[in-house]
Structure 1
Amino acid sequence: MFKRILVVCTGNICRSPIAEALLKKLLPELVIESAGTAVTKSNLTDAPAHPYSEQICTENHLDISDHNARQLSPELCDGFDLILVMSHEHIEEVALLSPGSRGKTMLIGQWIGLGDIEDPILKPKTSFDTLYQTLFRATNTWAKKLS
């Protein structure tokens, strides 16, 4: 049984904060957090969620206003039972960073037939609307599998 779930994207400001909020609402008994593979490199440490991510969450009655981006680390990977990532590239990045975590790393979109969930950074709000709908479907399917 999974008790601790980590959601991973690249900058931890667009995709993973939304997915984290959705999973927290669906699975309140579990510990759910998020991180990014390139937070430090992108100079995003402690950055708030992207304004469109925050807006789309607010429109859907989710609050990510106190989100702070953080860098994925081997220690962080070790502390979770399941790591949900947005792309095949993230699977490889997790495996390089924490080889022992490869077996517990899965695509968040796998149960809805999606390999990669595209990063909407630098795109219009409509891309974030689409992202939200995709993550809504993916997280609801994961919640059913984990319940």
Structure 2
Amino acid sequence: MFNSILIVCVGNICRSPTAEAILKHKLEGTGIQVSSAGLGALVGKPVDASAAEVMAEHGLALPDHSARQLTTEMLHSADLVLAMENRHLQSIFKMVPEARGKSFLFGRWLGGCETPDPYRQSRPAFVHVYNILDKSANAWLPYLKK
């Protein structure tokens, strides 16, 4: 099965860290490692304040998060790579063509839905994204838990 999951978005401050926190919580006790990175990461930045606020309302937090740039090494070492949008997958495939067999949309089991970027938008956008990510994570669980 999967021992390590890498979640990818652009800046690594909104969507991917939120998805990381959600999956870490849902996979607690399984031994599966969950991390995140960005295609154009705002390296060193913490979780976006609005994203952190919405996560906190659901009892989740990533206080030590520091945005990091996606690398080929990260893609090679992950057992499963989950991206927010189809264009992210295309960028991943350009970086590491052999990642094709293990890279999917986070919303794959919700009809292949993409997760929109809430960055610099109002709070309702962050709530909407959280809800999509939570539903997507739940849909992945049957495939992730051993």
Which deviates further from its counterpart, 7-16 or 21-30?
21-30
Alignment partner for residue 74 of structure 1, among 61, 65, 72? 72
1:79 to partner: Cα distance: 1.0
Q: Give the counterpart letter for 2:40 in structure 1.
A: A
Q: Deviations over 1:89-137 (max 9, x none)?
A: 0110101111111211000001012431110111101100011111000
TM value normalised by structure 1? 0.94
Contact 1:88 1:115 in 2 (8 A): no
SS of equivalent to 1:5:
strand
Q: State how far apart, in whole Å, the 1-side matches of 2:49 and 2:4 are.
A: 27
Which deviates further from its counterpart, 128-137 or 109-118?
109-118
**Number of residue pairs matched by the alignment:** 143
Map 1:1-147 onto structure 2 (within 5 A): 1-28=1-28, 29-39=31-41, 44-147=42-145
SS of equivalent to 2:115:
coil
Q: Give the counterpart letter for 1:15 in structure 2.
A: R
1:145 to partner: Cα distance: 2.1
Q: State how far apart, in whole Å, the 1-side matches of 2:117 and 2:93 are.
A: 20
SS of equivalent to 2:63:
coil
Aligned residues with identical type, % of pairs: 38
SS of equivalent to 1:111:
coil
1:52 to partner: Cα distance: 0.6
Please, which runs of 5 or more residues in structure 1 have no aligned partner? none
Q: State how far apart, in whole Å, the 2-side matches of 1:78 and 1:115 are.
A: 25
Please, which runs of 5 or more residues in structure 2 have no aligned partner? none
